[in-house]
Amino acid sequence: MSTADLSRDDAVLILDTAEEIARLSARPIKKLPTLRGRTVVNLFFEDSTRTRTSFEVAAKRLSADVINFSAKGSSVSKGESLKDTALTLEAMGADAVVVRHSASGAAYRLANAGWTSSHVVNAGDGTHEHPTQALLDAFTLRRHLGGFDGRRITVVGDVLHSRVARSNVHLLATLGARVTLVAPPTLLPVGIGNWPCEVSYDLDAVVPDSDAIMMLRVQRERMNGGFFPTQREYSRRYGLDAQRMARLPDKAIVMHPGPMVRGMEISAEVADSDRSVIVEQVANGVSVRMAVLYLLLSGSESAIGPDVAENLSAENTKRAEQKGAAA
């Protein structure tokens, strides 16, 4: 339910598995037969485009059956509780439930209340955590930086309302990176001193030493007060523009979990620059979520083995023969 629950070995296993899956997914036929006959339910109580679609693609590429459940237009809109929804999905035989909920701790409650025997994957719970986003960010960072030990990762923006920030701090610290959070004091949570990271209020001071900089969206939908004077003032002090990007080290990369607000936390020029790996993060998210589902549902703690590659090769050969026969 949280990246804080992952050991370094656990995290590395997921990243290594995702790397092998990414290589297999580069083939013309992307599907693997690993989860054939399994059912994955995407249970989303909040709006989502990237995460829900990414989990759906991941499950389908592993040959699982996928059911997309949205709170809007369902019995939830009529007052059905999380418990009754979980019992319904249990009765339908779901093997895994990917849940996103506006309440922090909802995924933990679903997994531990005894309502379902399905595996539960946290796709974001309130302002608490978003573990698979942190894993795909770590996967992207490892591909570009080579490793984590001693690397300086700067996370900038609305930390107070960001589940991504909390998950990344715990995971990257476990992997050996040095994380610095940059935000105005009003956008930092109480107890930030207990997090395994450094805190700064001055973006310009930390940019030159950053191996990667991750920009966070200001989540206005979660705000009920004035957290900064104006959008222009926030952008001036905490936005990443071309001038600030120019002060980054030569091989530093720019990240964003999305969705972006261009012109506020990040300029269009930076978002579309060669340093930006934002679109790559989306692609990597599919591989990482395939790895998570594979490790949960395949009944094996090892990474993708030769049997999967052999099955894939056999399917490729069979389709090629069918195509040749048709010609």
Active centre residues (catalytic): 50-51, 78, 100, 130
Question: Would the annotation count 236 as a binding residue?
Answer: no
Residue with tokens 């319904």: 88
Question: Would the annotation count 258 as a binding residue?
Answer: yes
Question: Would the annotation count 100 as a binding residue?
Answer: yes
Give the strand order in the sheet containing 198-200: 198-200, 178-182, 152-156, 212-215, 253-255
Question: Would the annotation count 161 as a binding residue?
Answer: no
- Is residue 182 within 8 A of residue 200, CB to CB? The reply is yes
Helices 8-25 and 306-326: angle between axes, nearest 10 degrees: 10
Question: Would the annotation count 8 as a binding residue?
Answer: no
Q: Quick one: which of 326, 269, 318 has its CA closest to 33?
A: 318
Question: Would the annotation count 152 as a binding residue?
Answer: no
Question: Would the annotation count 184 as a binding residue?
Answer: no
Cα separations in angstroms, 204 against 137, 162, 228: 23, 22, 18
Task: Look at phi and psi of residue 212 and say left if phi exceeds 0, alpha if psi is from -120 to 50, else beta.
Answer: beta
Q: Where are the alpha helices (DSSP H) in the chain?
A: 8-25, 50-61, 82-91, 106-112, 131-145, 163-175, 203-206, 231-238, 242-246, 268-271, 278-297, 306-326
User: What is the C-alpha to C-alpha distance for residues 214 and 225, in angstroms, rounded to an integer?
Assistant: 25
Give the strand order in the sheet containing 96-101: 65-70, 39-44, 96-101, 119-125
Question: Would the annotation count 30 as a binding residue?
Answer: no
Question: Would the annotation count 34 as a binding residue?
Answer: no
Binding-site entries for carbamoyl phosphate: 50-51, 100, 130, 133, 258-259
Binding-site entries for L-aspartate: 78, 163, 217
Binding-site entries: 50-51, 78, 100, 130, 133, 163, 217, 258-259
